[in-house]
Amino acid sequence: MGTMLVTIKMMPSSPEADIEKIKEGVTKLLESNEAQNPKFETQDVAFGLKALVISFGWPEEKEFEEFENKLREVENVGSSETIDLRRAVG
């Protein structure tokens, strides 16, 4: 099977939430679920709030919805939204 390219935008529960701790929790989930080549970036949203945007490869044969739900359970995450999901070519 192939690989999907996934981009997820995660919002912290408050402007005071530590983005690095959220990143650590997400990294553990990615590693334990066979995600490939994760890339992280932060985006300024408003009033000191920053979003964490994660891009990674995901094996097509693995269930993605369950993983999405686990991401929402990471400590200090207010919301998580899949903003792009596409099949990798090449």
Domain CATH for 36: 3.30.70.60
Mean of pLDDT over the chain = 92
What per-residue confidence (pLDDT) applies to 90? 57
Strand order from edge to edge, sheet including 49-59: 36-46, 49-59, 3-12, 77-87
Identify the domain containing residue 46 by its residue range.
Answer: 3-87
Tell me the pLDDT band of 48, cut-offs 50, 70 and 90.
confident
Contact 59/5 with Cβ under 8 angstroms? no
Helix and strand numbers, DSSP H then E, in the chain:
2, 4
Looking at this protein, which amino acid is placed at residue 2?
G
Counting the structural domains of the chain, the total is 1
* pLDDT of residue 89 exceeding 90: no
Better pLDDT: 4 or 88:
4
